[in-house]
Amino acid sequence: MEAWAPTREECLAQAVRGVGESFLNLTGAVGVRTRDVVVRADRDEDVLVGLLEEVVYWLDTEGEVPVDMELTTVPGGLRAGLHMADAGSLPVTGAAPKAVTLHELEFTRGPDGWTCSVTLDV
């Protein structure tokens, strides 16, 4: 899965959206609850992995998927307000992710903004 955006936080948000859209049709999905999450990590790559691991965790344990979010940088990491929808109420378009791998992990800033790449196990 790859994502890109002008800012670090928007690139992370696009990555989260990409995970949900990789197996569900999120068109018109509305968040019914908010999960507040803090990801602690020093490196941007580790923030990306930690955030996506949270997405997989909530999907696996509660059957929820983020459809909107607010991301804020905090000392030593990132705070995320994830607006969650019931994944069971959305049309399935593929296999659900089961894990985030470190294979070909990348999160970089370039002249046109931020890009990230991560491999998901299904």
Domain ranges of the chain: 2-121
Rounded Cα distance between 23 and 63, Å, is: 13
What confidence score (pLDDT) does residue 40 get? 96
Q: Tens of pLDDT along 40-67?
A: 999 999 999 999 999 999 999 999 999 9
Q: Tens of pLDDT along 18-42?
A: 999 999 999 999 999 999 999 999 9
Q: Which residues, 6+ apart, have CB-to-CB distance to 107 below 8 Å? A: 11, 44, 45, 47, 48, 114, 115, 116, 117
The two three-digit tokens of residue 4, written as one number: 């890109």
Task: For residue 85, give the amino acid letter.
Answer: A
CATH superfamily, with its number, for domain 2-121: Archease domain (3.55.10.10)
